[in-house]
Amino acid sequence: MKNKMQWLWVVTTVVYLVPFIVFDSEVDNRFVDFNLEDPHEKKYSQTDMEGKVTLVVLQSRTTLQTAIDCKTQLKSLVQDIQKAQRLQLET
């Protein structure tokens, strides 16, 4: 059983890592870093975020109001926000 789990882990890792390694030049163009400290910063325009994955990392010190403000700002910038939005809570 342990051997099967190890192989499953290896296969999963390869399946997800290979596209990022092979298409490395595209990876830089697919992600936008959204800064919670200043969500109204001008560099996050509609054209900058179009077609990109938005990754928002909420840290434990982030208040609920800050998270709500961030999500509201993201929705106002991106029309199709459901494409790829991932929220991660770090402790």
How confident is the model over 18-36, as pLDDT tens digits?
655 555 544 444 445 555 5
* Domain chopping of the chain, boundaries: 24-90
The answer to whether 53 and 78 are in contact (CB under 8 A) is: no
Reported pTM: 0.28
Whole-angstrom Cα distance, residue 51 to residue 13?
25
pLDDT at 59 over 70: no
Task: Tell me the CA distances in angstroms from 31 to 21, 28, 74, one per residue in order.
Answer: 15, 6, 14
**pLDDT beyond 70 at 53:** no
The first and second tokens of residue 19, run together, are 């596209």
Question: How large is the C-alpha radius of gyration of the chain?
Answer: 17
Q: How far from the centroid of its chain's Cα atoms is residue 55's Cα?
A: 2
pLDDT at 25: 44
